[in-house]
Amino acid sequence: LRASLLPSLCEAGADGGARGALRARPYSAAGDGNRKNNDSGFQDWWCLDMTFGRKAEAYQDCRLAEEVKDEMYRKHKKEGWEVARLAEHYQIRQQRVMGILTLRELREEDVANGVELDYGFENYANQETDTRYQKGSGEMHIKSMPSEPRYVTISEGEESNYVDLETRLAIDSAAEEERLVEEFKEKLAFNMWKTGGDLERHVSRHKTAAKRPDDGWTYVIKPLDANGPEPFAAKTDGTKRKLTDSEKTFQDRQKGRPRRKIPT
């Protein structure tokens, strides 16, 4: 089935779109499941691009040179460059900038703690993967928003408020990216123990009951009234207190995060 669909799929993506939704590697003519080889290694075919050529290939975005990453960290720490400014200057997304800065921060902590770093494998990997670029290719988030007819009935003399697809796509993509950046910041802060530091994160494959504290359990009370007070902690002796920052983080991570459709 895959082999029979491949020609039609490639024909559908032959308008220049070559990335995004479907990645298919061609089978050999013998049909034995082996990939075709060429001089550069395995051949990858990207047959469909749901952004229709708007999103550039992220080849050089993920292959910035090591000295460029060091420069980014230096500008952030010593010159006070914010993440958004670094992303704009180096033409990559803010999430990638935050990842680079975090890894450089961890490396700096290892050096301060006397950990001996071995750059042998890293240098070899960078050489083999063509890691040498000084800037990205203008990496950005593009929303997958198929076009469809939009009919609006207007009276004679009334001006239409129709906004063309490219304008709506730019506005909606920017709104989605803003949410994605905030979610990335929250998850990165949690994984780096900057939030929720007091939470127990040891996960055992054995289901064992938690040990009861000596002074009894502390319960989190969530009022059912939507306009009522915020959740609070109550102890067995009847005392109440506000939730700590770690407890608030735990409550926030329990909330579902349905993605609203854009435009709303």
Which one has a higher pLDDT value, 162 or 237?
237
Q: Find the length of the chain.
A: 264
Instruction: Calculate mean pLDDT across residues 175-188.
Output: 94
Q: Classify residue 45 by burial, with Cβ atoms within 10 Å: 0-12, 13-18, 19+.
A: middle
Residue 72 burial (CB count, 10 A): 22
230-to-221, 226, 227, 254 alpha-carbon distances in Å:
9, 9, 9, 16
The CA-based diameter of the chain, rounded to the nearest angstrom, is: 77
3-state secondary structure of 83: helix
Residues 28-33: contacts with CB under 8 Å, at least 24 apart: 31/3
Report how far residue 19's alpha carbon sits from residue 202's, in angstroms, rounded to the nearest whole number: 39
Which range of 79-83, 220-224, 257-261 scores highest in mean pLDDT? It is 79-83
Digit-coded pLDDT (tens) for 112-154: 999 998 889 989 988 899 899 999 999 999 988 777 777 778 8
3-state secondary structure of 64: strand
3-state secondary structure of 167: helix
Instruction: Calculate mean pLDDT across residues 63-87.
Output: 96
pTM of the predicted model over 0.75: no
Mean pLDDT of the chain: 80
- Pair of tokens at residue 136: 């990205």
